[in-house]
Every structure is written in C-alpha cells, then in structure tokens.
C-alpha cells in the first residue's frame, strides 16, 4: 500500500514538473508557430530564438498589480484560477506515458479523465460570476453551456476505444493497441470518425478556436478572465495550455496507440503523438474563425451527438462480430 | 457537415502555405529598413554654398505651418559676414517636432531653400525636450546623411515646372494668380509666376513655341492642362513608367502648355535621373499643340 | 429642385423601445459596448440592452473622437487644411484630400490638369485597395479572435497593405497622411520606375486576394457567421443616406464613380460590384469584389497617366493668400466607405467661412439601431465590423 503511495507521489511530482515545463515550451512554440503561419518571426529577442519568452511573460505577469474588483465575490474570485490550473493538471495523473511511466493507472481511468474535464467548467463559471462584470458573466454563461454540451460527444467518442478494448483503464486501452493496432488504423471506419469527434469535443472543452466563444477577445474583451490581472491571469492562461497538452496526451493514448510505434515502442512515441495533436490544435486555432454560440450548440447536438451514438453502436457491433 | 471539413481544410492549407513562405519581418534594430527617397521625418536648416545661412527670417514657414510648431525670432537686416550685403537673418529658430504633422508645407514655401526635411529612418528620443529642434540641432542635421530629396525648389518645380530660359515668351503671363509675387527672387529657377498656369490661358498659348524641342525629346503631349486640350487621345503611355517624372531635362518652355512631364525641375536632376528623351517622340496626339 | 419633403423612415424594428431608464431589477441587461473595446473600430460606444444573449435595443453614442476639425479649419488657410482633413478618415487619407481639394477647386472654378486628375484617381484606387484590406483584416479579427484565425487573416492583409503604403511613400514621402493633393492639383509627381513597382505590387496582391477568400468567403464558419446577419433593406439604407459598399450590398446599383464621374472616371470604365441580400456576407462580397476591381483599374490606369503638369499653377509660393470668392459648393466623391461630401461656404477671405464634411460612416452607424436588435452579441460585433465605420470621420 505505501509502496503504491510512494510510487504515485513520485511519479506525480515528476509528471507535474514535466507537464509544467512542457507548458512553458508550449507557450514558446505557439508564439513561433503562430508567427510563422502569419509570415512573421515571433519572439526573437529573449534568449536564443526567443526561447526564454515564457519566462519573460511570467515575470511580467508576476509584477502586475493584483486587483480584486469592488463588489466582487472575493473568495471565489481568488480561488478559481488555482482550481483551473489544478483541474487541468489532474487529468495527467492517469495518462500512461509508457508501460512503466504512469502516475496512477486507475481502473476507471477514462471516467476519471472525463470527470476532471467536467470539473474544469467550475472555475470558468466561477470567474464569470465572481468578477461582477457583465462581460465576464456573459462569457461564463456561454462557457457553461458549451462545456456541458460538449461533454456528451466527448464521453461518447471516448467510449469507442473503451468498447473496442474492453476496459476503462487507460493502460489496458493502450495495450490493446499494441502492434500497430491503433484504433484510428483499425477499424478505421470507426476509429477515424470517433477520433475526429473526440478532437472537436476536446477543442470545445478547452475553449479553443473554433469554439472559443467564452473567451472571445473581440467580443468580450477577455471573456471570463476580463477582471483578472497578474499571477491569477497567468494561472488561467497556463491552465489553458495545460489542458490542451493533457487532452492531447489523452487523445494520443485513446486513439493513436499511446507509446506504441513502428519500431522501439516507448515514451518517445507518446511524446511525439502528443506533440502532433498539440500542433494540430494550434494549427486549427490560428487558421479558423470562431463559431457563434448557437451554431456551436447546433453542431454539438445535431451532428456530433448522433454521430457519436452511432459510432458507439458500431463499435459494439464490431466487438461482437469480430 | 462535409462543407465544414472541406472549407476548414482549405483554410488550413492556406495557412500552411504561408508557413512555408519567408517571414516578412524586418528585424529592427538589427536591420533598419531603408526609406524611400522622398520620405520625410525630420528637418534641417541649410547653409548656402558660400557658407552663409540660407534662412533669411522671412517667417513664411512659421505662417504656413498648420500646427504652428515653428517659432522664429527674426533678426532684422544686417550685414552678412560673408557677402557683405545686407540681408535678413533669423536669430532663433525652433521647430517642435512633437507637434509637427509632417505636411512639408514649410519646405514648400521657403524662398531660399533653407529648410528641408531629412529622411532619418527613426527619430528617437528619451524625452520630449529632445524632440524640440533648436537652431543648433537643425543646422547640425544639415550634415545628416539622410537628407531628403525635397526642398522648395524641387517641390515647386514639380508642381510648376520652370520655363526654359530660351523659350519665346508665352503669351501673356497668365495672371499670376492672387498676389503671388512671382516667386522668390532668389530662386531663379522657379517658374516665375504665371508660367505654367495651364489653367487659365492655356489654349491660347499652345501653338507658338513648339519650338526647339527636338522631336526626340519630349513628348510634349502634355496637354497639360485643363481638359481643353482636345486630347481625347490616350496619353502616350509613354515610357518610363507612366509617371516618369524625370524625363526631359530641358523642358520646353511653358508656352502655355506644360512642358512635358511636369515635374522635374529642370535644373535639378530628379531622382529618376536619366530617362531622358523619354518617349520616342510620339507626336502629341493631335492636340493642338503645334508642333513636334 | 423640389420643395422640402418630409421623409418617412420605414421602421422594421422600432429602435426606440420604451426604455428610457435602465431598470437594474428588470429583465433586460444593459451592456456598454464601451469606448474601450477591442473591436469597436475606434472609440465608439453602443449600449446594448440584452435579453440573455439576444439584443433588444441598441443605442449608439458617437463623439468620443470629436476634435473640432471643422471649426479649426475656419482658422486655416485653404492650403493648410489638407493635412488636417487627412486625419478624418484616417484609413484612406487620399480620398479625404481629394474630396476637400475638389471642393476648393469647384469653388474657384479652377480646372485641374489632366495628369493631376488621373493621378488623383489612381491614388484613390490604390487607397481603396489598402482600405479594404484593412477592413478585411479587422473584420476577420472581429469574427475570429485576436488570438486565432482572425489574427492570421489580419496579418496577411497588413502584409499586403504594406506594399501599397510603400508605393505611396515613394511618391509622396509619407506612408500615411500624405498632404499630396493641393488646391489646383497635386504636389508630388510620380517618380520614375513607379509604375513598374505598382505592377509588381499588384502582381502580389492579386493572387493573395484568392487566399483571403479561401479563408473567409469560402469558409463555412465565416458563411455561418455572416449569412443573414444584419440584413439591411435597400429602402431603409436609402432613407438613412447610406452609400458605398453597404448600399451596393443591398442591391442598389449606385456608385459615384460611374454615375457622377469625377476626375479620371469619366475616361475609365468602372465596373460596379453589387450583391443581393444586404447582410454581412453581401457587404463582404462587395468589398472583396471592389478590391479586385480596383486592382484591375490600377493596372489600367498606371500606364495611361497622361503627361503634363500636376498643378494648375496656383501660386505655390504664397499659398496662404489664396482667396475664394463668396459662394458655396458641395462636392462628393466615392470613397471606400461611401459618399464623402465636402460642403464649403466661402466669404472671399483666405479662410473658409464654414467647412462641413459629410462622412459616410456616420450614416452607416445610424443604421445600427435598426439592424442589430434581434441578433446576438456576437452578431452585433460582426455587424458593426461589416459597416466599416471609421470614427475619425464620424466624429471629426
């Protein structure tokens, strides 16, 4: 028992550290990648090729004045940024980065991930409410509607690998995809659509374009984070990146075969696939415009949910027949 | 649903294509972008060739400035240490670059080409006081290697091209419009009053002259002005790029019409430099011009 | 001239719902789309009364950028006014200058040399390209996010706009706010080799317009966001005095360049771009179509600029002494935003007695209370963006 605890704690610390570092790198990467998509250079001054830019950003945000608006609900206001970051990190606990590197391979791993994903709605809504700001409130309402709606296709599409592999445990799911049996490869007619739906739902859950209406800068100044300054804003900001990173890792584990690869399966493949998904998310972010709230909802309930229900059925049929 | 994916894919491929392009960023301050020749960014006061200050304290620039950023203390007439003649001086000249709107009007009206603009790529300062150009700074800017192209002579020559001296007098110097004293006395080159007037007079003028323009030169076609010029004809799309200001150094005399391609004050070589003979002398499309 | 008539404004939506005072306990939420906002296109405030996400009433407030330009001009000589008026519609300064100087010349009955007329039209068309590029970039920003696809389109558009601004820098010496038009003609002539540069720039811009379309007009998300949004019918547009791309997007075929030709437009054929529907998508289509048309026009005109002087010879040495005799004149031109008019009352002195500028964006904004109610907040942003208001000319 205590051995499991020690194992869990050690790996947790390691993984959290790695994820946070990766987030910092992700900040740099996004700035450069976005810049190149726009035929410009991005950060170049701070550190070689701008690598220390995230450090500079963090330092800048740290020295800003910490403001709590009058008539704001101070307790919630101050608490939610931390909750956002923690909830985003929480899902990293069950992701199997390699056969031996996993903080805690829960039996109900998938369920846990989705539950944590649901928890990430709370800080957003809390920020919207506690800011005493109409723009933030609007953003918060939209975020809630969007997040809980997109939970459904997220869950249903995550059910496909669960059904195909027969277990909720992430380690088992990845194991079932060993030897290039990735679910997007076979059965591809079930795996690929399910993967697409998962990615879309993941984009919606992390409030990325094209689903970033809750934090739509052009409409709501900064959406739910309008009233946040300094380190609290930094936490929200980082929470977004962490969420995207971790969700990419989960997606890689569920659909892309995790640590499996054409030769020498291992941690590096997992990292590579996570990065691939991550790049895809940012490529989409910097190329597409955003949906309006009602169009977003229509997309979810009218297209994604029926499609994912069908896919779950198809996966079930597949498992029975094959 | 399909259209979402298809069009999204197209948008993604467009941004991917841009990913593969060379970034257009100019890495300031490692690389300073070169400005155009006519770029206007700061000012300089000039000395004449004989070393005397060119500014005669006539206050024209102070009067014309829409933002009233120029403050001059006119020194009254005194004897010039160089030429010995009595002439006006400016005792103090302050130009507040903070409020300047870079309209170039002060440059245009200067009768002695004393104030010109420079084309520094940037004019940085640590405080507002540094951007108030005192007389010392203005004269120091004279040595700047970023002297702009424009001074009063050039600007005026562009707008009102000078007559070549040899030309036969144009028919009546058309009313030099409202009281403009035919230009500054000093600027010999300047078209004196009336010249180009195109406007008024005009039609009368043409004919005449025609002159000595070598056919190769000039296009004259200028029809300058005012529509009248029958020219319905499409302008000789000539040569050096539509505008070639350059062209013809010796603009044939106004003669009511403008000497070809306006611009270019004859004396000054316009940036275009050569271009010279411009158009294979397309004879002026039939417009009444006489000649050539 | 007919006698004065009463104009009835048709109301599809009553813009004056009986809401005089905001009731915080009531059902509607009042949101100030305030002067500080990332996408109000300048300092502009809209009070939105919201029922959930739906807008019920809109009250626009202008005047945050009022600089008393018209009053200032009453103390400036005619040649000094041009650089001041440059700053009205700060996105397309060439057309501001053109409108103003055309009014002065009309008052003086002064004929501008043909070359100057062509140059002015050429500059105006180039400026139209630059202005619409800016509009497209900011519209994409409104729709797609400052951190997202919108920013990508925005930066691409500005990359191309730089090419146009560089061309202007070659001619006039300034990238923006040129003061190149003057009473009687222009101040700067075209340098040698300029038309080759223009053509090179157009060779780049032309195909890039296809790229922009692929990210906007052909994009399903863009179409979803703009189809049917902010529908303005032609009758209301005409009643409100709206002109320009907005009117043409309602299907009304009216363009001052063709219908009341000025300067070189009487010698060059302008194909007027119209669209049906009057919604944001139609306006976007019209503007992108106009960009293509301007590219074509510039190509046609740049080699055909006639030779000649560029100034009718007003005395440039002492321009302050230009006096315009008693009279009044109104001259209107077609800018990228619509009909920009200059109304001048002169009294024989060097200063205008009254200079009034009729800004097209003001009329465009006056349509907002009619077309936004019923849409959501996101749509309100899209509609405002598609109207392309420039607060500099609205407020002056």
**Domain regions of chain C by residue span:** 27-395
- What order do you get walking across the sheet with C29-33 strand by strand? C29-33, C45-51, C54-61
CA distance A29 to A44: 12
When mean pLDDT is compared across A99-103, A215-219, C320-324, the lowest value belongs to A215-219
Q: What is the pLDDT of residue C25?
A: 64
| C393 vs A220, residue with greater confidence | C393
Orientation of helix A230-255 relative to helix A134-165, angle to 10°:
20
**A83 in a domain, yes or no?**
yes
Contact A289 C152 (CB under 8 A): no
| CB atoms A36 and B22 under 8 Å | no
A41 vs B176, which has greater pLDDT? A41
Q: What is the pLDDT of residue B291?
A: 35
Q: Write down the pLDDT at residue C219.
A: 84
Distance from B3 to chain A by nearest Cα, in Å?
13
Burial pattern A75-98, b for ≥16 Cβ within 10 A else e, equals ebbebbbebbbbbbbbbbbbbbbb
Tell me the mean pLDDT in the region C19-31: 69
pLDDT, position A10:
85
CB C335 within 8 A of CB C363: no
User: Higher confidence at residue C258 or residue B164?
Assistant: C258
Segments of chain C assigned E as strands: 29-33, 45-51, 54-61, 181-182, 185-186, 327-335, 338-346, 352-358
Query: Per-residue pLDDT tens for C164-209?
Result: 999 999 988 888 888 889 888 888 888 888 989 999 999 999 888 8
For A287, phi then psi, to 5°, come to -120, -20
- Asked if residue A60 belongs to a domain, the reply is no
The B86-96 sheet, strands edge to edge: B70-79, B86-96, B132-133
Q: How many helices (H) and strands (E) does chain A have?
A: 13, 0
Q: How many separate domains does chain A show?
A: 1
Whole-number mean pLDDT of chain C? 85
Q: Give the three-state DSSP class for B103.
A: coil
Range of the domain at A200: 72-321
What residues contact residue C58 under an 8 Å CB cut-off, 6+ apart?
C15, C46, C47, C48, C49, C368, C369, C372, C373, C380
**Contact A218/C379, CB-based, under 8 Å?**
no
pLDDT at residue B250, rounded to an integer: 37
pLDDT at B216: 38
Give residue C22's pLDDT.
Answer: 59
Task: Report how far residue A277's alpha carbon sits from residue C267's, in angstroms, rounded to the nearest whole number.
Answer: 57
Neighbours of C68 (CB within 10 A): 10
What pLDDT shows up at residue C38?
Answer: 66
Neighbours of chain A (3+ CB pairs under 8 A): B, C
- Residues C373-386 have pLDDT tens digits of 888 888 888 898 89
A146 inside domain: yes
Write the CB contacts of A276 (distance below 8 Å, at least 6 apart in sequence).
A252, A256
Q: What is the pLDDT of residue B172?
A: 41
Neighboring chain A residues of B25 at a CB cutoff of 8 Å: 40-41
Nearest-angstrom CA–CA distance, C32 and A160: 46
**Tokens found for residue C220:** 């399903």
Tell me if A195 is assigned to some domain: yes
Q: Does residue A133 lie in a domain region? A: yes
CA of A212: which chain C residue's CA is closest? C145
Q: How far apart are CA C114 and CA C301, in angstroms?
A: 13
Residues A85-98 have a mean pLDDT of: 83
How far, in Å, CA of A317 to CA of B7, rounded?
33
Per-residue b/e over A102-131, b at no fewer than 16 CB within 10 Å? bbbbbeebbbbbbebbbbbbbbbbbbbbbb
DSSP C39-55: TSSSS-EEEEEEETTEE
Q: Choose from C120, C317, C325, C351 for mutation: most chain B CBs within 10 A.
A: C317
What share of chain B in percent tops pLDDT 70? 54
What is the model's pLDDT at position C10?
45
| pTM of this prediction exceeds 0.90 | no
Confidence of residue B34 (pLDDT cuts 50, 70, 90): confident
Question: In this predicted model, which residue has the larger pLDDT, B224 or B41?
Answer: B41
Out of A213-227, B96-110, C111-125, C291-305, pick the least confident. Answer: A213-227
* Residue B178's pLDDT band (cuts 50, 70, 90): very low
Chain B residue numbers with beta carbons less than 8 Å from the beta carbon of C187 are 104, 108, 155, 158-159
- Edge to edge, what strands does the sheet with C327-335 contain? C327-335, C338-346, C352-358
Judge whether A95 and A253 are in contact, CB under 8 Å.
Answer: yes
pLDDT of C44 > 50? The answer is: yes
Is the Cβ–Cβ distance between C241 and C219 less than 8 Å?
no
**What is the four-CA torsion angle of C31, C32, C37, C43, rounded to 10 degrees?**
160
* CATH architecture of the domain with residue range C27-395: Orthogonal Bundle (1.10)
Give ∠ CA C167-C170-C171 in degrees, rounded to 5. Answer: 95
pLDDT at residue number C99: 92
How far is it, in rounded angstroms, from Cα C72 to Cα C357?
A: 13
- End-to-end Cα spacing for chain C: 30
| Residue contact C306–B231, C-beta within 8 A | yes
- Burial-class residue C46 by CB neighbours within 10 Å (0-12, 13-18, 19+): buried
**To the nearest 10°, the Cα dihedral for A15, A16, A18, A20?**
160
Distance CA C250, CA C260 (A): 20
């Amino acid at each position: 028992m205590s051995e499991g605890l020690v194992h869990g704690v050690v790996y947790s610390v390691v993984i959290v550290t790695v994820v946070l570092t990766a987030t910092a790198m992700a900040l740099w990467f996004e700035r450069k990648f976005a810049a190149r998509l726009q035929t410009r250079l991005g950060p170049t001054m701070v550190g070689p090729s701008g690598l220390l830019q995230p450090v500079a950003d963090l330092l800048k945000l740290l020295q800003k004045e910490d403001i709590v608006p009058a008539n704001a609900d101070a307790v919630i206001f101050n608490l939610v940024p931390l909750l956002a970051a923690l909830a985003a990190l929480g899902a990293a606990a069950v992701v199997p980065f390699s056969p031996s590197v996993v903080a805690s391979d829960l039996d109900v791993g998938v369920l846990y991930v989705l539950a944590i994903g649901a928890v990430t709605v709370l800080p957003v809504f809390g920020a919207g409410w506690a800011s005493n700001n109409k723009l933030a409130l609007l953003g918060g309402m939209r975020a809630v509607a969007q997040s809980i709606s997109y939970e459904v296709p997220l869950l249903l599409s995550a059910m496909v690998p669960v059904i195909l592999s027969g277990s909720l445990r992430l380690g088992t799911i990845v194991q079932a995809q060993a030897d290039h049996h990735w679910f997007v490869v076979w059965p591809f007619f079930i795996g690929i659509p399910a993967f697409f739906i998962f990615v879309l739902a993941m984009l919606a859950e992390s409030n990325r374009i094209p689903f970033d209406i809750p934090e739509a800068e052009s409409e709501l100044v900064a959406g739910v984070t309008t009233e946040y300054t300094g380190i609290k804003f930094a936490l929200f900001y980082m929470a977004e990146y962490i969420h995207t990173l971790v969700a990419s890792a989960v997606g890689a584990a569920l659909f892309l075969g995790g640590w499996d690869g054409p030769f020498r399966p291992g941690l590096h493949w997992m990292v590579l696939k996570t990065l691939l998904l991550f790049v895809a998310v940012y490529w989409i972010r910097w190329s597409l415009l955003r949906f309006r709230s009602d169009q977003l909802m229509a997309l979810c309930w009218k297209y994604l949910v029926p499609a994912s229900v069908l896919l779950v059925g198809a996966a079930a049929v597949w498992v029975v027949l094959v | 649903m399909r259209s979402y994916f298809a069009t999204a894919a197209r948008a993604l491929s467009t941004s991917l294509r841009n990913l593969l392009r060379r970034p257009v960023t100019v890495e300031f301050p490692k690389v300073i972008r070169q400005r155009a020749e006519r770029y206007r960014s700061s000012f300089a006061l000039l000395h004449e060739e004989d070393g005397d200050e060119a500014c005669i304290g006539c206050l024209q620039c102070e009067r014309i400035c829409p933002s009233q950023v120029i403050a001059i203390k006119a020194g009254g007439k005194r004897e010039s240490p160089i030429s010995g003649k009595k002439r006006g001086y400016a005792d103090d000249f302050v130009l507040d670059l903070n409020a300047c709107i870079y309209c170039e009007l002060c440059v245009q009206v200067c009768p002695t080409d004393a104030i010109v603009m420079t084309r520094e790529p940037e004019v940085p300062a640590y405080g507002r006081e540094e951007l108030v150009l005192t007389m010392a700074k203005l004269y120091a800017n004279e040595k700047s290697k970023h002297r702009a192209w424009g001074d009063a002579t050039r600007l005026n020559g562009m707008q009102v091209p000078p007559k070549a001296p040899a030309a036969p007098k144009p028919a009546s110097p058309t009313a030099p419009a409202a009281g403009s004293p035919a230009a500054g006395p000093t600027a010999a080159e300047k078209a004196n009053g009336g010249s180009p007037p195109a406007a008024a007079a005009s039609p009368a003028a043409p004919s005449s002259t025609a002159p000595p323009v070598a056919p190769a030169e000039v296009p004259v076609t200028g029809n300058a002005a005012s529509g009248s010029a029958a020219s319905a004809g499409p302008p000789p799309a000539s040569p050096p790029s539509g505008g070639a200001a350059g062209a013809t150094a010796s603009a044939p005399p106004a003669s009511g019409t403008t000497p070809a391609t306006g611009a270019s004050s004859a004396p000054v070589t316009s940036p275009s430099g050569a271009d010279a003979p411009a158009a294979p002398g397309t004879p002026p499309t039939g417009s009444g011009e006489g000649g050539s | 001239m007919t006698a004065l008539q009463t104009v009835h404004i048709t109301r599809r939506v009553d813009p004056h719902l009986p809401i005089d005072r905001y009731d915080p306990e009531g059902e509607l939420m009042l949101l100030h789309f305030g002067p500080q906002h990332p996408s109000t296109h300048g300092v502009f405030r809209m009070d939105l009364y919201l029922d959930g996400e739906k807008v019920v009433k809109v009250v626009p407030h202008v005047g945050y950028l009022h600089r008393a330009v018209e009053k200032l001009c009453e103390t400036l000589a005619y040649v000094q006014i041009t650089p001041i008026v440059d700053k009205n519609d700060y996105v397309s300064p060439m057309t501001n200058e053109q409108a103003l100087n055309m009014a002065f010349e009309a008052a003086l009955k002064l004929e501008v040399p043909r070359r100057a007329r062509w140059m002015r039209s050429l500059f105006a068309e180039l400026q139209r390209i630059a202005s619409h590029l800016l509009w497209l970039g900011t519209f994409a920003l409104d729709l797609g996010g400052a951190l997202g696809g919108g920013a990508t389109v925005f930066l691409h558009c500005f990359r191309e706009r730089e090419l146009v601004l560089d061309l202007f820098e070659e001619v006039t010496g300034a990238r923006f706010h040129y003061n190149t038009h003057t009473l009687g003609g222009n101040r700067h002539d075209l340098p040698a080799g300029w038309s080759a540069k223009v053509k090179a720039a157009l060779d780049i811009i032309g195909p890039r317009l296809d790229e922009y379309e692929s990210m906007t007009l052909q994009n399903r998300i863009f179409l979803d966001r703009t189809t049917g949004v902010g529908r303005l019918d032609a009758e209301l547009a005409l009643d409100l005095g709206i002109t320009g791309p907005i009117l043409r997007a309602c299907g009304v075929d009216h363009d001052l360049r063709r219908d009341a030709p000025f300067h070189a437009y009487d010698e060059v054929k302008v194909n007027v771009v119209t669209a049906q529907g009057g919604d944001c998508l139609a306006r976007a289509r019209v503007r992108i179509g106009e960009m293509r048309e301007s590219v074509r026009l510039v190509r046609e005109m740049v080699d055909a600029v006639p030779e000649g002087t560029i100034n009718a010879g007003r005395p440039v040495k002492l321009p302050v002494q230009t006096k315009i005799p008693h009279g009044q004149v109104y001259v209107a031109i077609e800018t990228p935003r619509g009909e920009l008019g200059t109304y001048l009352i002169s009294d024989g002195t060097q200063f205008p007695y009254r200079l009034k500028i009729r800004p097209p964006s003001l009329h465009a904004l006056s349509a907002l209370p009619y077309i936004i109610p019923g849409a959501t907040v996101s749509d309100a942003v899209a509609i405002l963006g598609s109207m392309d208001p420039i607060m500099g000319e609205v407020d002056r």
